Amino acid sequence: MNFSTFEPAYEAILDDFGFDRAADERARDAAADLATPFPLDRLGDWRGATVAVAGAAPCLADEVELARDADVVVAASTAVDVLADRGVAVDCMVTDLDKNPETAAALTRDGVPVAAHAHGDNLPAVREWLPRFADEWTLATTQAAPVGAVRNTGGFTDGDRAAFLADHVGAGALTFPGWNFDDPDVDPMKARKLDWAARLLRWLERRRNEEFPVLDGRREAADEALEGILGGELTGDPGGD
């Protein structure tokens, strides 16, 4: 996914939530000042592999085997801790540093890649935590236009960014343990973010010509929401960086 393709979705997200693009860009620039390039060929063993994109919903505890059976495990935020408690190591963590940044920092020091996301609401965390990460294993990401070592491979929440990253590096198939778009315990803001995650995964599903069971029952609503935003971009070549 390149940014020019993703940008209409990003602009729609900004409009929907009232987020400040300039704030996203300030956080991105702070990350760019701290980050070093992360060559994506370090994730070369993902190509053609079955990649489990582990979400942090409570149901992950009951779906651990789906992650254990995958070739590669990419975990969103606290899903890393749930999996570790059950003996499943992750191959990459995706985080915006809001819940367990100490886990992310420790993973990089152990040689596990972490995609650390900078956005308008987490500038202090970016400045505090990125210097504590091992540079070689830190992939800095943004939802704005990429600059320097900071990449944007698509996505909005930790979970769907993980899926877009896996797609970007050539994953053969994606599975989704630990996802629940209808979690009754999340607050209204999180519920809206989950709606967007479903829409973006539907876009990714269509681009990959693949079906994600986690989207069963949600495709029609997602398509309706996306059609006016993306139009002809709902399908097609994912493109490059």
Domain residue ranges of the chain, discontinuous segments joined by +: 3-234
Cα separation, 36 vs 38, in Å, equals 6
Structure tokens at 199: 């829409």
Cα separation, 69 vs 86, in Å, equals 13
Cα separation, 51 vs 135, in Å, equals 24
Instruction: Provide the sign of the torsion angle of the four alpha carbons 10, 47, 42, 87, taken in this order.
Output: positive
User: Backbone dihedral region of 194: left (phi > 0), alpha (psi from -120 to 50 degrees) or beta?
Assistant: alpha
Cα separation, 218 vs 198, in Å, equals 7
**Checking DSSP bridges between strand 114-118 and strand 92-95, what pairing results, if any?**
parallel
pTM of structure? 0.95
Residue 181 per-residue DSSP state? T
Q: What is the pLDDT along the chain (241 residues), one digit of tens a residue?
A: 999 999 999 999 999 999 999 999 999 999 999 999 999 999 999 999 999 999 999 999 999 999 999 999 999 999 999 999 999 999 999 999 999 999 999 999 999 999 999 999 999 999 999 999 999 999 999 999 999 999 999 999 999 999 999 999 999 999 999 999 999 999 999 999 999 999 999 999 999 999 999 999 999 999 999 988 887 565 544 334 4
Cα separation, 58 vs 234, in Å, equals 31
Structure tokens at 141: 């990401």
Burial class (CB within 10 angstroms; exposed 0-12, middle 13-18, buried 19+) of 240: exposed
Cα separation, 185 vs 180, in Å, equals 11
